[in-house]
Structure 1
Amino acid sequence: MSATHSSRRNFLKLSTLTTGGFILGFNAFGATQKTPAIIGGTSSGEMASFNSYLAIAADGTVTIYSPNPELGQNIKTSFPMIVAEELDADWTKVKVVQAALDTNKFDRQLTGGSGAVPHSWMRLRNAGATAKAMLVTVAAKRWNVDPSTLAAANGFVINSATGNKLSYGELASEASQVPVPKDVKLKDRKDFKIIGTAVRNVENKNILTGKPLFGLDYYREGMLHAMIQRPPAFGTKIKSVDTTAAKGMPGIVDIVTFKNNVAVVGKSTWEIMKARKAVKIEYEKDGNIESTADHDKIFADLLDNGKAEVRRKDGDADAALKNAAKIVKSEFQCPFLAHSPMEPMNFFAHVKSDGTVELAGPSQTPARAREAVSKLLNIPEDKITLELTRLGGGFGRRLKFDYVTEAAELSSLIKAPVKVMWTKEDDMQGGSYRPAVRYRFEAGLDSEGNLIAYKLRGVGINAGNCTREDNFPSGAVDNLLIDSVEYVSPITTGAWRAPITNFLAFAEQSFIDEVAMAAGKDAVQFRLDLLAKAKQKPVGAIKYNIDRMETVIKKAAQQSGWGTKKDIAQGFSVYFSHASYVAQVCEAAMQNGKPVVKKIYAVADCGQVINSSGSEQQVMGAITDGYGHAMFGKLSFKDGATEQKNYNNYRLIRMKEIPEIETYFIDNGIDPTGLGEPALPPTGGAVANAIFKVTGKRLRKQPFIEEEIFKA
């Protein structure tokens, strides 16, 4: 296990790709092709269609074309680090370039589910190792020695017997003529020099100096700007539109009504913002118009009487509960949340008269967005190009593509290139939200405090399956029943960072603490005992790794001094999501009559850490996100409209409220398993359990800030 702490890192000095050299293609996402092949540069022969490209220039620059969208999860740094490690490249000459959407070359060209690095890990390593083998082959031929006698380091092939060395740039062109080896030897992990170290994000300099990286920065000569007025309340539609005043305002080119939208098109952002306010729109009812108060009643009814779909059933939980010596019951509820990325939705579209379409902007699912535009406009996908910009945040909102299709549709109507921009109020009022959910738990204990029955029912608003039925403690309880009820609402919902588990983990881990307390057992030991039972006598399928979960639990307890501190209250939580495991201990104390979170310890098992600084920031960011939203986050509805419109009344965590966070990583020698989301789910439970320890008050609803204990 290693501890990681923040540190300053030098900016990369990125080199430009010059003439000469060769390009090595490799499959970064496909399931079949494993062997790289020369596809360009000075190579002759047929070009192979692979999914991503490693380039070595005559000046030694190494470039990787990264197909996945970058929204802050660090893949544009991690990808080249992996290639450079196996290549033994000079890191100061490594750079990465964002690739445009190309479904002929790329598979899984999306960002979501913490899966980019795990999916590409071995393919990226093979690409770097293959290129190195080809360079070594050329050097061996020049020196007339066996390739096995040579070494590679820092962008050079080295003859240790003579001290001679040749740079990769010197060898690049000739290496393009070498047959591509089918099998290459990968490094032993103990020999890694780049992987596992702290490396600055390759985009830092561009971000800090204001280079045009994001969708809102995108500009095309002659393009128009547009903002769209969407219905202010779910369950309503346009009745009438009066554009008389707005059309006469300076800079306004057109005002278009399509579907349930009114688009104001003009020459500048400020002009269309002013004109949009002058458009008079009257709305009428179109389906259910709901309020948060309605949802509270709906939850209560569906928990009692809803038609539930059984997700997992082991033994007979109802019978076991009837015979239990002690029964514990609890309910937990979470509100809707906005994704609230710093950069609001935006996209550029140009539907041309020749039947082609240009798209550009921030998307987590560019292939799906292009497919949707193709169906909408009845234009073949091969006639549509999509250029990816960096995303100014996403958190799942940009998995959807409604803002892409509306830009394309508007361009087709006005017959001009246009960039559609949302305001923050647009995002809050017409976005896609984390589903509101309520959970009901029941547990039965025998006379010795052993867990013999466990029931969970979830009710979600447009949530689909709002449980994770195969997660812990499934497999450790003889009698278990997990089911869910779905309620369909006109309010649009979607994936929000660590979908479903972002709240479910809080509910599960808080309830397990309640059960442990009722059993008279230590919260950490209670979980370890359940895992031991699952290992020795599993009940049904075990779909989590018991050893990995045990390890993070024990390390978190050890690093935090669990149970040994007298002047601080500690709360524990552990969770498995997105193939990784994170355990957390939260420390809280009373301050000025209110509970205050002082520190959070986190131990993560995400397999091999690629970038130690990037990994630390992912964990710290996820904890801050999880804590901030559990404490403050809430989006409510009145008559179909959001009551929160912007940051003035949509509460986010503030800098001064972020507690100290200490992160640790388990070094277990396995391949990467993802890190963008796994540290968020356990945070709410650790915080709630610590606050209970210091106040005696169980927190069962989010946001916590609405509880009386925080209003003293």
Structure 2
Amino acid sequence: MATSKKQNFSRRAFMRTSGLAGGGLLIGFNLFHACKEKSNFVPPADLSKLDYQDFNAYIKIAEDGTVTIFAPNPEIGQGVKTAMPMLIAEELDVSWDKVYVQQAKLDTVNYQRQVAGGSQSLRHGWEPLRRTGATAKQMLVNAAAAQWNIDSADCTAKEGVITNNKTKETLGYGDVVNAAAQLPIPEEVTLKKPKDFTIIGTDTPNVDIDEIITGKPLFGVDYKPEGTLFAAMARPPAFGMALEDYNATSVKKMDGVVDVFTIGEKARKLIAAQPNIAEILSTSDKVVILAKSTWQAFKAKKALETKWKEVTPLEDTKEHDDAMLALLDGKEFTTMREDGDVEKAFAEADQIIERTYEAPFLPHNCMEPMNFYAHVTDERVHLVGPIQTPAWKAGAVAAMLDRKPEDVTLEMTRMGGGFGRRLYGDFVLEAAEIADRVRKPVKVVYSREDDMNDGIYRMATKYRIKAGIKEGKITAYHLKEAAINSNMYGLIPNFFPAGAIENYKVDVASHKSNITTGAWRAPYTNFLAYAEQSFFDELAESMNVDRVQLRLDLLKKVNPEADERIQYSPERMIKVIETAVEKSGWGRKDNVYQGFVNYYCHNTHVAEVADVVIEDGIPVIKKVTCVVDCGIVVNPLGALNQIEGGIVDGVGHALYGDFSFKDGKPSASNFDTYRLIRMKEAPIVETHLIQNEIAPTGLGEPTLPPAGGAIANALKAATGNRFYQQPFTKFPELFQPKEKEIIG
């Protein structure tokens, strides 16, 4: 159904047009003004004297009809630089092959939520961006109607051309863009019905694909203006150590080395002012080697003589494991949700099943190591690089350097992976502190060892799940989390099976560690989905009921209208389950062992079925069938990339991802000792998208969490063994095939 939306745009939402050097016109449209009712944006008096790249938010329409749209959110490979402009172009009614996309700068006044995290970009931009395009189109149509002296209702616009329905005359957008900017902003616009979409829902290649495959400068690591110096840093060799002394006499004589000094004072000052940032910033000094090239800086760092001292206990993974198990056995928990009387239900149960699931720390291992550019002068602080939270980091830099927020300009580059690591931006603060000291353009570049040894890791976690069964029904469910540095919103307590079991409780507890931890792709759910879905399979087996039917029966009990805390839709979840059963050939394949899961996270419903076969006496994961309900799919090609990538990532880390600490030092510092999934080990992924007209939800993360559970359940079918710890390959004795009939 078409929808009319009242606009709250002020006249300031639009900049007047001007001639450009190469010909053409510019309509300066504040793309997210609809989201920002209080904007201080004031258009400059004479646009013709400024390069259009000085502006952060606009639609540029050239004389030949081409349209340039700025993409506001950081691009980390999740496809928003392509998909978000598609929303604007759809309602603007232009041909996509005449659209060019550019990355916007950070603009906290005129943009909302310039963040890459939580798989929320399209969900938040769905209506505002479409209203943006629709409003711009209506102004162009109004301008054409005024020129023809007819009512705008007698005009239609399609692919950048406005047609007079009475005379069949036509005008291109470029013909009327100057006049359009002089007109009043329409109070109402009509958004298209989904059936009328011509861009949304079509396979659209990544707008950066040519630059990516030809190796053109695009990523943060590529940004190095003339005169840039490169910084490498000697960091504490273990968590709990700090710099005591260093000797740089010989290093300063090395070829290309410009200077050697320490930083850390400004970071400590920032921690004092903002204690929450201490979780990602070391309080120790770091030794900076500044050189004319990255290689020279890295080489000098290896030659640097340093002395470190222990300032806090050097922790071991064994100590962490013991501490988390003690938490699970104790009573010091924060209760996130409690329904009914769990203890009474357990006391009355005919059978109680309790299992503990364990996962290690994990590094992020982005393909592009951390890096950032900074140039600090008296006039401004110029920052450029890959960051998921540009506004947060620009604000932190301003606070650290005692500068006004408006002094800080931050430009976003494309990122070679983020996965949560680039939410924190400790590398941005390092670059800014170095640049402030030397007052020259500086590029901080991490080595792979820097990334893995001094990182921000997925927290090690243990879950204990307990269920009570009475008269063949699940009557009690208690989920407990013990994690390293959990920030206590942990388990997402209102996800399934919340609302499906009368007596239901979720508790969390945290063990404090000096090892820095943070978000890792699909925070919390990346491991919880495996634990819960493995547990449900074991419940079904113990109850002697069909494992899929058990889930369906529970979902049919859920009434979100009666419990507004419930975040998932039981109807949508049932649909993905039934579709996955059909499309995967569940239980109907010869010589194939299958594992089933369903999961909800990041507002998206997913079901996955893993196929395992025995080859040369070893279970091999051959295929994962995935069904996704993420609402309207803006870019199916991009969606498939996200779905497949998430599953392969989830399978790889469940099988191989292992990371621990001994005396505060990580167990691996590069890929020679840290195991990732290899191309030949990646399963085939068959994807099915549920078609509906519901607004889009997240897709960058939701398919990763269920993957571990799907393969764990399939491996149980193949071997008869259950896996309670990740990575699974750490326990080769569990991979021995069983001699039993094939089951689904």
Q: TM-score, normalised by structure 1?
A: 0.93
**2:484 match:** 461
Alpha-carbon distance, 1:271 to partner: 1.2
Q: Does 1:25 align with 2:52?
A: no
Query: SS of the residue aligned with 1:535?
Result: coil
**2:403 match:** 379
What is the CA–CA distance in structure 2 between the aligned matches of 1:566 and 1:207, rounded to whole Å?
42
Alpha-carbon distance, 1:162 to partner: 4.5
Whichever residue aligns with residue 83 of structure 1, its letter is I
**2:305 match:** 280
What is the CA–CA distance in structure 2 between the aligned matches of 1:667 and 1:138, rounded to whole Å?
37
Query: SS of the residue aligned with 2:344?
Result: helix
What is the CA–CA distance in structure 2 between the aligned matches of 1:221 and 1:90, rounded to whole Å?
38
| Match among 427, 432, 435 for residue 451 of structure 2 | 427
**2:475 match:** 452
- Structure 1 pair 280/701, CA: closer, same or farther in 2 (3 Å)? same
- Structure 1 pair 389/194, CA: closer, same or farther in 2 (3 Å)? same
Q: TM-score, normalised by structure 2?
A: 0.89
Asked whether the equivalents of residues 36 and 110 of structure 2 are also in contact (C-alpha less than 8 Å), the reply is: no
What is the CA–CA distance in structure 1 between the aligned matches of 2:342 and 2:629, rounded to whole Å?
32
What is the CA–CA distance in structure 2 between the aligned matches of 1:368 and 1:459, rounded to whole Å?
29
Q: Does 1:242 align with 2:244?
A: no
Alpha-carbon distance, 1:17 to partner: 9.2
Counterpart mapping for 1:345-356 below 5 A: 345-352=370-377, 354-356=378-380
- Structure 1 pair 536/119, CA: closer, same or farther in 2 (3 Å)? closer
**1:118 match:** 123
Counterpart mapping for 1:331-370 below 5 A: 331-352=356-377, 354-370=378-394
Asked whether the equivalents of residues 28 and 51 of structure 1 are also in contact (C-alpha less than 8 Å), the reply is: no
Counterpart mapping for 1:9-408 below 5 A: 18-28=22-32, 31-33=35-37, 52-160=57-165, 162-259=167-264, 260-305=285-330, 307-352=332-377, 354-408=378-432
CA RMSD after TM alignment: 2.3
Whichever residue aligns with residue 372 of structure 2, its letter is F
What is the CA–CA distance in structure 1 between the aligned matches of 2:384 and 2:620, rounded to whole Å?
45
- Structure 1 pair 540/348, CA: closer, same or farther in 2 (3 Å)? closer
What is the CA–CA distance in structure 1 between the aligned matches of 2:400 and 2:638, rounded to whole Å?
39
Counterpart mapping for 1:254-653 below 5 A: 254-259=259-264, 260-305=285-330, 307-352=332-377, 354-447=378-471, 449-465=472-488, 466-535=490-559, 541-653=565-677
**1:6 match:** none
1:158-189 C-alpha deviation (Å, 9 max, x unpaired): 24554432222222223223322110111111
**2:277 match:** none
What is the CA–CA distance in structure 2 between the aligned matches of 1:702 and 1:29, rounded to whole Å?
46
- Structure 1 pair 401/29, CA: closer, same or farther in 2 (3 Å)? farther
Alpha-carbon distance, 1:337 to partner: 0.6
1:540-561 C-alpha deviation (Å, 9 max, x unpaired): 8423211111111111111112
Query: SS of the residue aligned with 2:186?
Result: coil
Alpha-carbon distance, 1:565 to partner: 2.5
**2:5 match:** none
Alpha-carbon distance, 1:137 to partner: 2.2
> Comparing 170-179 with 665-674, which one deviates more in the overlay?
170-179
Asked whether the equivalents of residues 119 and 699 of structure 2 are also in contact (C-alpha less than 8 Å), the reply is: yes
Number of residue pairs aligned between Structure 1 and Structure 2: 690
Alpha-carbon distance, 1:694 to partner: 1.2
What is the CA–CA distance in structure 2 between the aligned matches of 1:548 and 1:63, rounded to whole Å?
37
Asked whether the equivalents of residues 603 and 697 of structure 2 are also in contact (C-alpha less than 8 Å), the reply is: yes
Asked whether the equivalents of residues 42 and 173 of structure 1 are also in contact (C-alpha less than 8 Å), the reply is: no
Asked whether the equivalents of residues 325 and 482 of structure 2 are also in contact (C-alpha less than 8 Å), the reply is: no
- Structure 1 pair 304/29, CA: closer, same or farther in 2 (3 Å)? farther
Asked whether the equivalents of residues 368 and 415 of structure 2 are also in contact (C-alpha less than 8 Å), the reply is: yes
What is the CA–CA distance in structure 2 between the aligned matches of 1:342 and 1:20, rounded to whole Å?
40
Whichever residue aligns with residue 172 of structure 2, its letter is S
| Match among 679, 697, 700 for residue 655 of structure 1 | 679
1:492-526 C-alpha deviation (Å, 9 max, x unpaired): 00100110000011101111111111111111110
| Match among 691, 705, 709 for residue 729 of structure 2 | 705
> Comparing 147-156 with 661-670, which one deviates more in the overlay?
147-156
Query: SS of the residue aligned with 1:233?
Result: coil
- Structure 1 pair 608/539, CA: closer, same or farther in 2 (3 Å)? closer
1:128-180 C-alpha deviation (Å, 9 max, x unpaired): 11222222223333444432233222221124554432222222223223322
What is the CA–CA distance in structure 2 between the aligned matches of 1:52 and 1:230, rounded to whole Å?
40
Asked whether the equivalents of residues 30 and 58 of structure 2 are also in contact (C-alpha less than 8 Å), the reply is: yes
**1:11 match:** none
**1:7 match:** none
What is the CA–CA distance in structure 1 between the aligned matches of 2:46 and 2:171, rounded to whole Å?
19
Query: SS of the residue aligned with 2:174?
Result: helix
1:319-362 C-alpha deviation (Å, 9 max, x unpaired): 2112111111111000011111011111111121x252111111
> Comparing 252-261 with 486-495, which one deviates more in the overlay?
252-261
Whichever residue aligns with residue 609 of structure 2, its letter is V
Whichever residue aligns with residue 276 of structure 1, its letter is K
What is the CA–CA distance in structure 1 between the aligned matches of 2:560 and 2:309, rounded to whole Å?
62
Alpha-carbon distance, 1:226 to partner: 0.8
Alpha-carbon distance, 1:456 to partner: 1.0
Whichever residue aligns with residue 720 of structure 2, its letter is G
> Comparing 431-440 with 479-488, which one deviates more in the overlay?
479-488
Unaligned regions of 5+ residues in structure 2, if any?
1-19, 49-53, 265-284, 737-744
**1:9 match:** none
> Comparing 670-679 with 129-138, which one deviates more in the overlay?
129-138
Aligned residues with identical type, % of pairs: 47
Query: SS of the residue aligned with 1:617?
Result: helix
Asked whether the equivalents of residues 599 and 605 of structure 2 are also in contact (C-alpha less than 8 Å), the reply is: yes
Whichever residue aligns with residue 536 of structure 2, its letter is I
What is the CA–CA distance in structure 2 between the aligned matches of 1:667 and 1:33, rounded to whole Å?
34
Alpha-carbon distance, 1:96 to partner: 1.2
- Structure 1 pair 123/43, CA: closer, same or farther in 2 (3 Å)? farther
